[in-house]
Amino acid sequence: MCCPATKKPARLESMEGFARTVAAIAMLALASAAPARGQAFTPAQIEQKLRDFEPATVEAAQTFAKSFNMSGMVEKSAPFLVQSVDRQLRAKNPDLTDEQTQEFISAFLRGVFDDNGQVVERAAVLTLVEIMSKDELEALIQLQSTPAGASALRKMPTLTARLTQIMPLMETYVVPRAMEAAQAQMRRNGVEVKI
């Protein structure tokens, strides 16, 4: 039998809970920032899927999306969107002038934020209800109401952007080295594996 369980001080439990919540939000943000996989939904399909969830959970997700200003958070990703679109435009349209590129990007950003901002918010609500329970959403709303929680949540887009910058490192360094190490291990075991 193991040692008797010791009760953690309330402050430590509170800090651990806070850390878990922030980590969960970071993962939610990272998941939503990752390239979409599988089927994309139309606005009508998003609304249909939202009807499959308990109304109180959807309401909590809407409250959190508004208090967290998820639309604003998406807008804060605009510099990253601009960089991506700019690279794509220049690669596929080398004859575009800087002025034409800026004109395209301005029209693109209007389309994302002005014309489709509500769609983005509803998609965020759907993501929230698919990942979080009503109790978790209410905990996030409560966290958002504290100065430290609000500050941490405001930093999530920056954290997400920084975390996504890790992916090239994974692709160009970590994964190839891990594949080579696994291949070498298999070779030592007498099995040749091509990678």
| Same-domain pairing of 143 and 85 | yes
Structural domain span for residue 189: 165-195
Q: Tell me: do 127 and 190 sit in the same domain.
A: no
**138 and 76 in one domain?**
yes
Q: At what angle do helices 10-33 and 147-154 cross, to 10 degrees?
A: 20
Distances (CA, A) of 80 to 63, 86, 133, 151: 27, 10, 30, 21
Q: What is the pLDDT of residues 83-139, one digit of tens each?
A: 888 998 999 999 999 999 999 988 988 887 777 778 878 888 998 999 999 999 999
Distance CA 49, CA 176 (A): 39
- Provide CB contacts within 8 A for 78, sequence distance 6+: 109, 113
Least confident window among 41-45, 163-167, 170-174: 163-167
Residue 147 has pLDDT above 50, yes or no: yes
- Per the listing, tokens 């939904």 go with 41
Q: Provide the number of structural domains found in the chain.
A: 2
Residue 182 within any structural domain of the chain = yes
The residue type of 31 is A
Question: Any residues with CB less than 8 A from the CB of 141 and at least 6 apart, and which?
Answer: 60, 63, 64, 67
What mean pLDDT do residues 138-165 have?
85
17 lies in some domain: no
